[in-house]
Structure formats: structure tokens, C-alpha cells
Amino acid sequence: MTSRATTSAARALALLTALCAASCDKKGEDTQTATASSSSSSSSSSSSSSSASDSATTAAAELRWYSTCGDPVCSGYGGPWDGVAACGAIKEGDPCDQAGAECDFQSECNARLICADADPKLGPGGCPISRAAFKKDIDYLDAEARASAYRDLLGLRLATYSYRGRGDGKRHLGIILDDHERGIWADPANDRIDLYGYSSLAIAGVQAQADELSELRGQLHALQRELSELRAETARCRP
């Protein structure tokens, strides 16, 4: 009886030992897996951080100095301007690191250099581009449309003014955007007018006047013919 109990106890002890060993092995595997996972996650996070840093560096490296449009008609340097430093040795195309920063290179057209990731002259609200290849939905103005533009031109309110922040006190002649924000040549989103459209309005006015003059000349010629015919008829009626 004692021998049987001893044997049963030995078997139980062996089974318990095996179970403990299996459990320890499992824990070891879980620990190794967790460690590997943590290492992989850390590596992935480090890689992502490095990627983000590289992207930021690349984005910063893509910033360059570009010139702005300046005045539509070059009439001489009007600066310096408050809050805009001189460019010094900075040239267009040089890299920069602060988007939106500006400097003054004393342009005769009052253009400046601006730090950006693309040339602002080619974007919306930039300098006018006249080639058909850059345009779509082209509609030429007919006589009626030119007459309408002419009426708009006659309705413009001209004013003289000086610019804030300029120390020269120079007076300018033009319009105030607030009075004409609905015009097709207005650019209220950028606090200015589309000078190309504005000047084209004057062209439309000249063309409308030419149309009127042509019509009036036609009427004048018709009246002159009638007058000549009446004179001829009168001459025949004389005794």
C-alpha cells in the first residue's frame, strides 16, 4: 500500500514539474515576443519620427525666395516699408526657412522677395499671363458686352490717396476696392483689383466708343445723301 502511494506521489510530482516547466517556457516565449514587439514598435516609431523629420527637412528645403509682381507700371522705388527688412545679399532662388517672410530688394517696380514653396506670380491672384495655353472658357466680348463694360467704366469712382506704412507720402490716383467689389476685375480675396482686367475695361470702353462713332458716321453719311438728293430735287423744281 505504501509502495503504491509512493509511486502515485512520484507520478504526481513528475506531472507537476512538467506543467511548471511548460508554464515557464510559455512565459519566456511571451516575454521574448513582447520584447521583440516592443523593439519593433520602437524601431517603427523611430523610423516614423525619422521620416517625419526628413519630410519636414525636405519641406523646409523646398522654401525659396521668389519675387512678387510689383506695381503694374514701374514708376520708381517707393520704399522702404514698415516691417520689411532689406534683402541685402539675398537673391531670388536662394533657399529660405520661414514661409511668408518678405524682404525689400529696392525694385524700381516695388516688387519684393517672399519666402514660399512655389512662385506666387504663377498662382491664383498672381501676375497676369496672356497666353491662351494658360486659359480656358475663353469668351470674346461682342458689341453688347463691350457697351456694358463701357457703362461700368463710366461708373467708376476715382479718388486720390496715399498708402499706409509708406514714408514717402506720395499721392496716387485710382479706385477704392470697397466701392467696386462686384466688378469682374475685382479681387477682394486679396484686397486688390485685377489690374489686367481693370486696364482691359478701358480697352472695352475705347472699343465701345469706336462702335458708337461708326454708327454715328453711318447715320451722318445717310443724312448727307438725303440732303444731296433734296438739293438735287429742289434744283430741278426751280423755274
Q: Which residue, of 60, 89, 107, is where some domain finishes?
A: 60
Same domain, 101 and 167: no
Euclidean distance between CA atoms 98 and 60, whole angstroms? 8
Q: Are residues 83 and 100 in the same domain?
A: yes
132 part of a folded domain: no
Q: Indicate if 39 and 73 belong to the same structural domain.
A: no
pLDDT for 93 equals: 93
Residue 102 has a pLDDT of: 95
pLDDT at res. 226: 93
Regarding whether 46 and 68 lie in a shared domain, the answer is no
- Does 47 lie in the same domain as 70? no
Closest CA relative to residue 175, chosen from 145, 144, 202 = 202
Cell, residue 146: 463691350
Asked if residue 179 lies in contact with residue 157, where contact means CB atoms within 8 angstroms, the answer is yes
Q: What is the pLDDT of residues 194-232, one digit of tens each?
A: 777 888 888 999 999 999 999 999 999 999 999 999 998
Indicate whether 146 and 230 sit together in one domain: yes
The SS3 of residue 139 is: coil
| In a domain? residue 130 | no
Last residue of a domain, one of 74, 98, 123: 123
50 and 69: one domain?
Answer: no
Range of the domain at 187: 139-237
Cell numbers linked to 96: 529660405
CB atoms closer than 10 angstroms to residue 125: 13
According to the model, what pLDDT value does residue 163 have?
Answer: 86
Domain count, the chain: 3
- How far apart are alpha carbons 67 and 48 in whole angstroms? 36
Residue 131, domain member (yes or no): no
The answer as to whether 96 is a domain residue is yes
Same domain, 56 and 85: no
Q: How far apart are CA 46 and CA 39, in angstroms?
A: 10
Classify 187 as helix, strand or coil.
strand
Is the Cα dihedral 121, 123, 125, 127 positive or negative? positive
pTM metric for this prediction? 0.46
Q: Are residues 232 and 220 in the same domain?
A: yes
111 with 72: CB under 8 angstroms?
no
User: Which residue matches cell numbers 472699343?
Assistant: 207
For the chain (239 residues), the mean pLDDT of every run of 10, in chain order, is: 42 45 46 45 45 46 87 80 92 93 92 92 71 85 91 90 84 89 81 80 91 94 93 83
* C-beta of residue 72 within 8 angstroms of C-beta of residue 199: yes
In a domain, 106, yes or no: yes
What pLDDT shows up at residue 135? 81
Mark whether 49 and 80 lie in a shared domain.
no
pLDDT of residue 19: 42
pLDDT for 61-71, tens place per residue? 589 999 998 88
Give the pLDDT of residue 214: 93
d(CA 213, CA 1): 137
Same domain assignment for residues 22 and 49: yes
- Residue 140 cell numbers, joined: 470674346
Q: Kindly state whether residues 180 and 232 are assigned to the same domain.
A: yes
